[in-house]
């Protein structure tokens, strides 16, 4: 009987340690992207005004024993938008692109409810388009890498954080457009965004 009770207490203890060291959940929020179109092979754009985008995804957090740090990998779908002036048709158009983000963050809890973190973010561009018929065959280079850092607070299972993300390299893209309507124009985008996220532990 004593052995059975001891085994039960041992199993409960292992379960509690496991729950304390590993968590996972859902997240979502808004993104504010700045200066997404930096260079073009022809003078067709003027200005790039940011519009609010959004993200949604999943996260996990694994506590590193002894040192008091944690690793938080995430898998996130992000949709970003910008408004630019297209000189060829003299109108303001919207540029959108969608990407998959995989941040791998190293963080530390502070003051019980707060946390700070930093780490690389691996990004894959799913799609890029301009909301105008004069521009077609938009092609974006798929993979880039950046850096995220920020901080947040947690209240039980709910958390909110503020991040800054900067891409290490431009995304080389192209489209068919211009005055003749059949010219291949290359342009570069560099992801530079503020991210506000809300997360919940499951």
Q: What is the tally of structural domains in the chain?
A: 1
In a domain, 1, yes or no: no
Q: Positive or negative, the Cα torsion across 153, 154, 155, 161?
A: positive
Distance in angstroms (rounded) separating the CA atoms of residues 141 and 130: 16
Task: Kindly report the average pLDDT of the chain as a whole number.
Answer: 79
Strand order in the sheet with 136-140: 37-40, 183-189, 171-177, 136-140
By three-state DSSP, how is residue 88 classified?
coil
DSSP state of 11: H
Share of the chain above pLDDT 90, in %: 40
- Grade residue 30 by pLDDT with cuts at 50, 70 and 90: very high
Look up the CATH number of the domain holding residue 125: 2.40.160.20
Q: Within a domain: residue 90? A: yes
In a domain, 46, yes or no: yes
- Residue-wise pLDDT for 113-170, tens only, equals 999 999 999 988 887 777 776 666 666 667 888 999 999 999 999 999 999 998 887 7
By residue range, what is the domain housing residue 98? 22-201
Nearest Cα residue to 194 out of 47, 29, 48, 61: 29
């Amino acid at each position: 009987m004593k052995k059975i009770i001891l085994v039960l207490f041992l199993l409960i203890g292992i379960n509690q340690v496991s729950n304390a060291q590993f968590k996972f959940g859902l997240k979502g929020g808004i993104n504010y992207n700045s200066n997404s179109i930096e260079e073009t092979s022809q003078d067709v754009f003027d200005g790039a005004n940011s519009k609010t985008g959004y993200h949604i995804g999943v996260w996990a957090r694994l506590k590193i024993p002894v040192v008091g740090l944690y690793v938080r990998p995430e898998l996130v779908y992000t949709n970003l938008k910008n408004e630019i002036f297209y000189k060829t048709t003299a109108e303001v158009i919207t540029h959108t692109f969608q990407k998959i983000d995989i941040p791998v963050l190293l963080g530390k809890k502070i003051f019980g409810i707060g946390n700070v973190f930093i780490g690389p973010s691996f990004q894959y561009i799913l799609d890029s388009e301009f909301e105008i018929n004069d521009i077609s065959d938009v092609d974006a280079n798929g993979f880039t890498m950046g850096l995220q850092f920020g901080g947040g607070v947690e209240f039980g299972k709910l958390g909110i954080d503020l991040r800054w993300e900067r891409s290490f390299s431009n995304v080389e893209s192209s489209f068919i457009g211009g005055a003749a309507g059949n010219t291949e124009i290359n342009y570069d985008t560099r992801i530079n965004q503020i991210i506000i996220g809300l997360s919940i532990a499951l």
